Amino acid sequence: MTAVQVEVVRVFTDPDGRFGNPLGIIDGTAVPPADRQRVAAELGFSETVYVDDAATGTIRIFSATGEMAFAGHPTVGVAWWLHSQGVDTPVLRVPAGDIQVTRDGDLVAVRADSTWGSPWDWRQLDSPDAVLAADPAS
């Protein structure tokens, strides 16, 4: 496969633009669907977004281990990036469904169904050592 252009944005930065979670964004026409998982794994970001149709907001999200029907961080990041490219779609379309996008200046918010997120469990641990010793699989 030939070289692919990857845009990298940092999502959820502080007010000075520091920190944040890096997100890879790729033109979906540049990578065949069968290769997207491999490319996302090679890039090593927590998520990589393929923009299949910017005008309609159609995107696909991949982590290093598989495709995700929805994820918050990538949808916020790609909504901001599309806006920065002059594309102001009010909706992002992911396999889980449509996500509403709102903007206020440079700020972007998304609204999605909370049941689309990955399952999680809240656990209160007594100390930093207990956190380090915890087995995430249990």
Which residue among 7, 42, 47, 67 is the active-site one?
Answer: 47
Map residue 23 onto helix, strand or coil.
strand
Beta bridge partners of 51: 27, 59
The residues, any chain, with a CB within 8 Å of residue 5's CB and separated by 6 or more, are 26, 27, 30
Is position 7 annotated as part of the catalytic site? no
Q: What is the 3-state composition of the chain as percent helix, strand, coil, each rounded to the nearest 5?
A: 25, 30, 45
Kindly list the catalytic residues: 47
